[in-house]
C-alpha cells in the first residue's frame, strides 16, 4: 500500500494507539460492513478520538474507482454508480484504478452548499451553462466521513449528512441544480459530551456508539506518553517501525470483508437478537438490524463464518448503549450482567 506522501502530515499510527479497544472495534466493524451505519465516539478531550479516526486511513484496504469520476464510483457495483458512469458502462468506456480509501474530514464551519455540492459559479460565468460542483458528500462516497465535534454542527447539516448516509444517495435540488449522486460512506462522529448532546433521534441514526475514557492506570498512561515521545522524535521512523502490524491489520480487514458474505446467522441467534432488543426496550427496528449486521461483521473480523453469542456480547453495548430509554435526566449505562442473563449465559 501507499505510504502517506511526504508533504502530508504524518499521523500517529493506528496500531500503536494504547487501549480504547471499544472505539477501535466500532471503527473496524464499520469498515468491514459499511452498512452498519457509522459510529459515534463520545468522550472527553485527549482520549485519542481524533487520532484514531484520522489514522484509520493507514489500515484501510485500497479500493477500485472509475478514473475521472468525481464521485469515485466503484465499477464493481453498477447499481450504485452515478448516472455518468452508468452511461459509460453501457458503452464499455469505463477505466478503473486502485485508489487508497481515505478519511474525509468535515470542518465545523462547512456550509450547506459545500456539503451537498452546488452550482459551479466559474462555469456559469465563463460559459453560461450550468454545471454541478461536487461537495464533501461526493468526496466522501466510498470513503470515511469524519465529523469532529458533531454535536456542534448546525442541525440542518447533521440532518443532511444522516439522510445521505442512510440512503446512500445525495439528492440536490437547489440553485437551479437538480441532481443526485452516490454518497455511500461510513459516518464517524466524535463529540465531547461536556459541550452538549445530540437530539435522541439523531443518536438513533448512528449505528454504533462508544464511550471512551482516559486511561486511569499509571503504567498505561506512561506507555501512552512513551509512544508519543518516540513518535514525535522521529515520525517517519516510528511509522516504519510498525509497518508490519499495520499491514497485517489491513490484511485482516480485507479477509474479513471477503468472509462477510459467507457468515451465517442461525435462527437461534436471530431470536437472541430480537429477545435482547425487546428486553432493552428498543424502539423501532434499527437496533435489531444494526445488531445483526455488527455481529456478522465481528464474526468475520475474527475469521469465523458463524455468529455466536460471544459476538452478540461484543457488539451489544455498542449497538444498544445510546439507544437505551432515558427517563428525564437519568444517567443510564449499559448493564452487561443484564445482557448475560438475557442471553442465558
As annotated, the active-site residues are 286
Q: Which of 64, 89, 119, 242 binds another protein (CB under 8 A)?
A: 119
User: Which 168-187 positions form the footprint of another protein (CB under 8 A)?
Assistant: 168-169, 171-182
CA distance 10 to 319: 32
Query: What is the Cα–Cα distance from 210 to 43, expressed in whole angstroms?
Result: 8
Question: In 3D, which of 89, 154, 104 has the Cα closest to residue 134?
Answer: 104
x/- letters, 279..318, toward another protein (CB under 8 A): ----xxxxxxx--xx-------------------------
Nearest approach, Cβ of residue 114 and another protein (Å):
12
Binding residues among 94-113 for another protein as defined by CB under 8 A: 112-113
Report how far residue 207's alpha carbon sits from residue 201's, in angstroms, rounded to the nearest whole number: 12
Annotate 5-25 with DSSP letters as a single string: PTTSPPPPPGGG--S-HHHHH
Q: Which C-beta is closer to another protein: that of 79 or that of 337?
A: 79
- For residues 255 and 28, what is the distance between their CA atoms, to the nearest angstrom? 12
Q: Which residues ranging from 188 to 227 are in contact with another protein (CB under 8 A)? A: 194-197, 199-201, 204-205
Task: Give the shortest CB-88-to-another protein separation in angstroms.
Answer: 11
Task: Give 113 or 254: the residue with its C-beta nearer to another protein.
Answer: 113
CA distance linking residue 143 with residue 120, whole number of Å: 23
Between residues 15 and 81, which has the closer beta carbon with respect to another protein?
81
The site for another protein, by CB under 8 A, has a size of: 72
Nearer CB in complex with another protein: 181/250: 181
What DSSP element (H or E) covers 294? helix 286-301
C-beta of 154 vs 335, nearer to another protein: 154
- State the nearest-atom distance from the C-beta of 243 to another protein, in Å: 35
Binding mask 233-262 for another protein (x = CB under 8 A): ----------------------------x-
CA distance 139 to 146: 12
Label the pairing between strands 186-191 and 132-133. Answer: unpaired
Nearer to another protein, 199 or 251 (CB): 199
Smallest separation (angstroms) from another protein to the CB of 94: 15
Determine if 333 is a binding residue for another protein (CB under 8 A). Answer: no
CB of 10 to another protein, least distance (A): 35
Q: How far apart are CA 273 and CA 279, in angstroms?
A: 10
Bridge pairing between strands 132-133 and 118-119: antiparallel
Q: Which of residues 34-93 bind another protein (CB under 8 A)?
A: 35, 79, 82-84, 87
Binding test (CB under 8 A) with another protein, winner from 270, 332, 336, 345: 270
| 289 in Cβ contact with 319 (< 8 Å) | no
In the complex, minimum distance from the CB of residue 150 to another protein, in angstroms, rounded to a whole number: 14
- Grid coordinates in use for 246? 499495520
Cell of 192: 465531547
Task: Please answer whether residues 48 and 82 qualify as being in contact, where contact means their C-beta atoms are separated by less than 8 angstroms.
Answer: no
Amino acid at each position: 500500500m501507499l505510504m502517506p506522501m511526504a508533504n502530508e502530515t504524518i499521523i500517529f499510527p493506528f496500531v500503536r494507539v494504547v487501549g480504547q479497544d471499544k472505539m477501535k472495534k466500532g471503527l473496524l466493524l464499520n469498515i468491514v460492513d459499511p452498512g452498519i451505519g457509522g459510529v459515534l465516539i463520545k468522550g472527553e478531550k485527549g482520549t485519542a478520538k481524533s487520532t484514531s479516526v484520522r489514522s484509520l486511513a493507514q489500515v484501510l484496504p485500497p479500493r477500485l474507482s472509475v478514473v475521472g469520476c468525481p464521485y469515485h464510483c466503484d465499477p464493481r457495483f453498477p447499481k450504485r454508480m452515478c448516472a455518468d458512469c452508468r452511461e459509460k458502462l453501457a458503452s464499455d468506456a469505463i477505466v478503473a484504478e486502485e485508489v487508497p480509501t481515505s478519511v474525509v474530514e468535515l470542518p465545523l464551519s462547512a456550509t450547506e452548499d459545500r456539503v451537498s455540492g452546488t452550482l459551479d459559479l466559474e462555469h456559469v460565468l465563463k460559459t453560461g451553462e450550468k454545471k454541478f460542483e461536487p461537495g464533501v458528500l461526493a468526496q466522501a462516497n466510498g470513503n470515511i466521513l469524519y465529523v469532529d465535534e458533531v454535536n456542534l454542527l448546525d442541525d440542518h447539516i447533521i440532518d443532511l449528512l444522516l439522510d445521505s448516509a442512510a440512503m446512500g444517495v445525495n439528492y440536490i435540488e437547489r440553485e437551479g441544480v437538480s441532481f443526485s449522486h452516490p454518497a455511500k460512506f461510513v459516518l464517524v462522529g466524535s463529540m465531547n459530551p461536556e459541550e452538549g448532546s445530540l437530539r435522541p433521534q439523531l443518536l438513533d441514526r448512528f449505528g454504533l456508539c462508544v464511550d471512551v475514557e482516559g486511561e486511569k492506570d499509571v503504567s498505561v498512561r506512561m506507555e501512552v506518553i512513551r509512544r508519543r515521545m518516540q513518535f514525535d522524535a522521529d515520525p517517519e521512523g516510528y511509522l516504519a517501525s510498525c509497518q508490519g502490524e499495520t499491514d497485517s491489520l489491513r490484511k485482516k480487514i480485507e479477509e474479513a470483508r471477503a468472509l462477510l458474505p459467507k457468515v451465517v446467522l442461525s435462527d437461534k441467534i436471530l431470536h437472541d437478537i430480537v429477545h435482547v432488543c425487546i428486553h432493552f426496550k428498543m424502539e423501532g427496528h434499527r437496533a435489531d438490524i444494526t445488531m445483526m449486521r455488527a455481529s456478522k461483521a465481528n464474526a468475520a473480523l475474527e475469521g469465523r463464518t458463524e455468529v455466536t453469542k460471544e459476538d452478540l456480547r461484543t457488539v451489544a453495548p455498542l449497538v444498544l448503549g445510546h439507544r437505551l430509554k432515558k427517563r428525564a435526566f437519568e444517567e443510564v449505562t449499559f448493564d452487561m450482567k443484564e445482557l448475560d442473563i438475557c442471553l442465558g449465559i
